[in-house]
Amino acid sequence: MHLHRNLWSAALAVTAATLLASSPAHAGYDTPPEHLLKVLKAPPPPLPSVDPSGQRILLTTSQTYPSIERVARPYLKLAGVRLEPHNRSRHDTRAGYGIPACVADFTLVDIASGRETRVPLPAGACAGPAQWSPDGQRFAFQNAAAESVELWIGDAASGRIRKVPDVRLNPIFDSTVQWLDGSRTLLVKRVPANQGPAPADNSVPSSPDIQQALGGQGESSTYEARDLLASDHDEALFAYYGTSQLAVVDAASGSVRDVGRPAIYNGVNAAPDGVHVLTEAIKPPFSHTVTYQRFANDVAVLDVSKNTSTPIASLPLADHVPVHGVPEGPRAFDWRATAPATLVWAEALDKGDWNVTVPARDRVLMLSAPFTGKPVEIARTTQRFDGFDWTEQPGVAFLNEDDENRHWRHTSIVDIDDPRQPARVLWDLSSDELYGDPGRFVYRRLPNGAYVVRQDGDAVFLRGQGASTQGDRPFLDRLDLATLRSERLFRSSADAYEQFLGFTAQPGRFLTWHQSVIDPPNAFVRTLGARDDAAAQGEAQYASSTSQLTRLADPTPEVRQIKKRLVTYKRADGVDLSFTLYTPPGYREGTRLPAILYAYPADFASSAQAGQVSGSQQTFTRLAPYRLMLLAGYAIIDNASFPIVGDPKTAYDTYLEQLEADAKAAVDKAVELGVVDRDRIGVTGHSHGALMTANLIAHTDLFRAGVATSGSYNKTLTPFGFQNERRSVWQAQDVYIKASPFFYADRIKRPLLLVHGEDDANPGTEPIQSRKLFQAIRGNGGTTRLVMLPNEPHWYTALESNQQLVYEMLGWFDTYVKNAPAKK
């Protein structure tokens, strides 16, 4: 049953039960009030990208929301990838959560002069993000045209762009376009010439779909069945659309030369020498149980000058990988950035299973061209290998390890060319640690295209979020590798949020991206001055002068009237918590408002990290759909801390108790501040936050109503783990049931709105989750409403869908929270 758009006003005067019993069929998408709609449609701020030479910035502005017409285009679901067959463009992002956003505008900014050059995109273009050439003189991007995905190359000095003729890209498995041999050429995956038509489907099944298990454990993530292969025809389509021809494109002339043979290339990665290319090619038989990332594949190195290929490894189907584990055999192949053509990879020593106790979990191997010798073992890691960061000095690299069992990370400084040199510990800390996070390395791109950690003599640079008890204050540090001591070059002021972007071509200068509550994001140039020995702890130890480079305008000045502040408090057991409190335009202190709490529970191994403040109250305020309720007179208790604290192996034993304690602490604090009316609070969340929402409605009386979007409400349908719960449902049945509001639907008496995308393929949040919970609540006499958004994945993409979401949320909360009768 559905409520018609005209019934929300009537809902204020009649009971919800009467409405649900008499609601007519619904037609068309609804829209919220115009003042909310205007803000929803406002363009997002551009994303800045500094070219490798430090001479220019490219500002990329994406389309806010595509139309439902675009989102509803026919597409194929092929083993975890979604593809539009009419032009072979991707219908999902790499994470699988929504269709890729089209770039609406590219603007080049000259750093020295501030001159802006708008790039003239072709009419009707759906461009993808641009990729700088290593010398910063060109950029390349893909354009999803009507019949193909095109390759375009731009000139950075003039902004002029041109299409490379006769190249139909095949972006099905990413790594579609990359610079090769420095800035002279590009390596691309293209549709093979003369491939012929796609395999036809005669609609008559050729055989049943048969799967079998012949013993042995086979735990795996739960995938949406509609995205897996399920027939011989699906397999034929996967092979047809997955097959690519590798080609080398001359960036100056546009000439194209095919290299290698057509294959189902998944990963493609060029070596620093510009001659050798690592290829990972998927091979049959194809599984109907897992997605393409687990399919069997052959790893090889292609010599693009000789057109020969050298095999490295043949990897079988990986359909028995433990949850949170890794496949057995060689994995994580990459090139050494400081050598012409040297491969590095890892192999598990614990069968890829975190449950196994071993002295070392991984060994790391290395093999150089011509790749015919025996690999050399260069390291063994106590925990899971997490890659190298290579410096400009060949003998210095950073070896990273990760421990999922403890939420721990370890980084050591190593010389892989001289194993006699002992490793030096650089960092050893919780992966949940925010306040003590040293940051991440600043990179420099070499002329050959390889990325290395930027160095200044014996020092490297670190950029970080700068989390603190007052919120994030991003920083730039210089770390001396001899003493392992850092000095702070820059730290964002407390009344703004300013991030390091990159160094300019002029020594002593760098770029930042500055914003505040009232100032939209803009680029600034900072010049380092003299050292300030009197600087306070944690502040910049060097003075710097600034000049504004870009002057982007505020698209929604009416939003600046919204106020926000950081609020800190404690859970009953002493765990530190926080939220951001937003108040609507024109709010008068002392007035109690209806409020909406938004949160996403997070798992922590220690309470010390669980209570750390993340995010900033100084960012330029933009309104997500639920925040638009501010323009309707609500306060928002935003990003409230909802930690689930404990040993990662057993933390979910107390999930529900901790959830309730988190909610009570947040509500009590918001009421104590004198801003929120305790009797008029709603709750909302997405995905894991939707599970939280439904559980809080079922098990507490803190909230008058809830809105849960794209949630998973019956955890027994993901039997081999969820979030950080590693035990199976057969090992911890009570935990799964207790976390599942489906089994407590008879207790859901407060109104609960359920919204879900019809095409959600996120593991665990299949659309059936919302359908079944709706049926369970309805069958037990509860007040509920189910809104299924056509063609939408886990995150809603179309403008019409987001308009509907805002309309539904506003109507639900107005009816059951703002205008609800007083509690009896």
Give the active site residues. 687, 760, 794
Each as own residue / partner, the long-range contacts of residues 120-127 (CB below 8 Å, 24 or more positions apart, any chain) are 120/159, 120/160, 120/161, 121/161, 122/163, 126/89, 126/102, 127/102, 127/103, 127/152
Here the tokens at position 324 are 């949170």
Three-state DSSP string of 131-197: EECCCCCEEEEEEECCCCEEEEEEECCCCCEEECCCCCECCCCCCCEEEECCCCEEEEEECCCCCCC
Of residues 654, 639, 615, 610, the one with CA closest to residue 407: 610
The b-or-e profile of 258-290 (16+ CB within 10 A means b, else e) is ebbebbbbbbbbbbbbbbbbbbbbbbeebbbeb
Distance CA 769, CA 330 (A): 37
* Integer CA distances (angstroms), 794 to 129, 307, 494, 756, in order: 22, 42, 36, 8
Distance CA 258, CA 261 (A): 8
Give the E-state strand segments of 646-770 in sequence order.
676-686, 705-709, 752-757
Cβ proximity of 601 and 688 under 8 Å: yes
Run of H or E including 665: helix 655-672
Residue with structure tokens 């060319």? 417
Distance CA 240, CA 263 (A): 10
Here the tokens at position 759 are 């095409």
Rg over CA atoms, the chain? 27
**Amino acid at residue number 504:** T
Distance CA 346, CA 362 (A): 6
Cβ proximity of 81 and 793 under 8 Å: no
Give the E-state strand segments of 51-88 in sequence order.
56-62, 76-78, 81-84
Distance CA 670, CA 684 (A): 16
Of residues 70, 158, 160, 85, the one with CA closest to residue 120: 160
Find residue 250's DSSP bridge partners.
185
Distance CA 413, CA 399 (A): 6
Q: Which residues contact 328 (CB under 8 A, 6 or more apart)?
A: 318, 347, 348, 351, 352
